[in-house]
């Protein structure tokens, strides 16, 4: 593959990452991701085009608003870097083509979900439901996943997590999973197929348990809730890249 192809792809990823920052900020607040123009969250000043160049503007402005000087969250920089990095990794892993484009779109949606759920404890339907439909539609063009596997994945992912939530409610007399988690898992199943539903849930549950045990203490652990979507999404990304190897390793032990 021509090495020079990575340059425009990384720039494209940075740009998508910049747009994801808009999605992450506005969707939980019920705002349009199209209008109005981006503005400073402190002084409300509209951001000029040259102050909105991915990565470069943040560095030149030293992480501060060009008007009022208020600090800009480092999250904006990291999301843009993740966008550029993921675009390069997807190109390296899958090469140019439709598969890479859909894989990258899926990963960026997972990135947005991870941050939104961690910060706001919600998973916007605009992301999960849209990508359930996109995942099923993509299966008609994806040689590695049939429409039937995609549909079963969405059904098993959403239905399985819903059943776990009902069981938790019966046993603990409290809500353990939200509807957003159920729809997110349906989205993941639609993209990855039914065979990766259980690995995603197991990996996310293990990571969430480790977080709860080692990073939450005492009374806080008893009262606080874990943003499960913020663990499901990275687990799905892991299975997108290495799910087949994980399954082969697991079944190879028997």
Q: What is the DSSP string of 28-55?
A: GGT--SSSS--B-TTT-PBPPGGG-STT
Residue 16 contacts residue 87 (beta carbons within 8 Å): yes
Interatomic CA distance for residues 156 and 163, integer angstroms: 10
Interatomic CA distance for residues 153 and 211, integer angstroms: 27
Structure tokens at 233: 């999404």
Interatomic CA distance for residues 100 and 6, integer angstroms: 13
Q: Is residue 210 part of a domain?
A: yes
Same domain, 75 and 180: no
Same domain, 48 and 170: no
Reading phi first (left if > 0) and then psi (alpha if -120 to 50, else beta), residue 230 is in: alpha
Same domain, 133 and 179: yes
Q: Is residue 193 part of a domain?
A: yes
The predicted structure's pLDDT at residue 34 = 86
Q: Which of 139, 183, 140 is nearest to 161 (CA)?
A: 183
Q: Which of 193, 207, 205, 202 is nearest to 240 (CA)?
A: 193
Residue 45 contacts residue 25 (beta carbons within 8 Å): no
Same domain, 230 and 159: yes
Interatomic CA distance for residues 233 and 85, integer angstroms: 17
Same domain, 9 and 52: yes
Q: What residues are paired with 71 via a beta bridge?
A: 64
- pLDDT tens across the length of the chain (254 residues): 677 899 999 999 999 999 999 999 999 999 999 888 888 888 888 888 888 899 999 998 888 988 888 899 999 999 999 999 999 999 999 999 999 999 999 999 999 999 999 999 999 999 999 999 999 999 999 988 999 999 999 999 999 898 888 887 777 766 667 789 999 999 999 999 999 999 999 999 999 888 878 776 654 555 456 789 999 999 999 999 999 998 888 777 76
Same domain, 160 and 77: no
Q: Is residue 114 part of a domain?
A: no
Residue 176 gets which letter from DSSP?
A: -
Domain count, the chain: 2
Same domain, 52 and 7: yes
Q: Is residue 108 part of a domain?
A: no
**φ, ψ of residue 35 in degrees (nearest 5):** -130, 150
Query: What is the span of the domain harbouring residue 68?
Result: 1-96
The predicted structure's pLDDT at residue 219 = 46
Q: Which of 238, 204, 240, 237 is nearest to 111 (CA)?
A: 237
Residue that is written with structure tokens 């109005």 in the block: 36
Q: Is residue 156 part of a domain?
A: yes
The predicted structure's pLDDT at residue 249 = 85
The predicted structure's pLDDT at residue 224 = 57
Q: Is residue 117 part of a domain?
A: no
Classify burial at 119, counting beta carbons within 10 Å of its beta carbon; exposed 0-12, middle 13-18, buried 19 or more: middle
Interatomic CA distance for residues 241 and 236, integer angstroms: 9
Same domain, 241 and 205: yes
Same domain, 130 and 229: yes
Interatomic CA distance for residues 63 and 50, integer angstroms: 14
């Amino acid at each position: 593959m021509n090495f020079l192809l990575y340059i425009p792809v990384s720039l494209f990823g940075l740009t998508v990452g910049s747009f994801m920052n808009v999605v992450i900020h506005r969707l939980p607040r019920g705002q349009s991701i199209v209008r109005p123009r981006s503005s400073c969250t402190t002084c409300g000043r509209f951001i000029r085009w040259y102050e909105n160049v991915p990565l470069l503007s943040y560095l030149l402005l030293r992480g501060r608003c060009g008007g009022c000087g208020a600090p800009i969250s480092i999250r904006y920089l990291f999301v843009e870097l993740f966008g550029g990095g993921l675009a390069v990794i997807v190109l390296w892993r899958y090469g140019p083509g439709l598969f890479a484009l859909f894989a990258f779109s899926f990963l960026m949606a997972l990135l947005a979900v991870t941050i939104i759920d961690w910060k706001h404890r919600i998973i916007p339907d605009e992301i999960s439901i849209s990508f359930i439909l996109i995942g099923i539609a993509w299966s008609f063009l994806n040689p590695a996943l049939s429409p039937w596997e995609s549909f079963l994945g969405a059904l098993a992912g959403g239905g399985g997590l819903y059943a776990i939530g009902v069981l938790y409610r019966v046993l603990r007399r409290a809500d353990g999973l939200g509807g957003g988690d159920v729809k997110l898992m349906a989205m993941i199943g639609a993209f990855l197929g039914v065979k990766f539903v259980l690995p995603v849930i197991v990996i996310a549950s293990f990571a969430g348990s480790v977080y709860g045990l080692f990073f939450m203490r005492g009374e806080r652990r008893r009262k606080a809730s874990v943003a499960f979507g913020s663990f499901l999404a990275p687990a799905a990304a892991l299975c997108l890249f290495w799910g087949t190897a994980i399954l082969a390793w697991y079944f190879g032990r028997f």
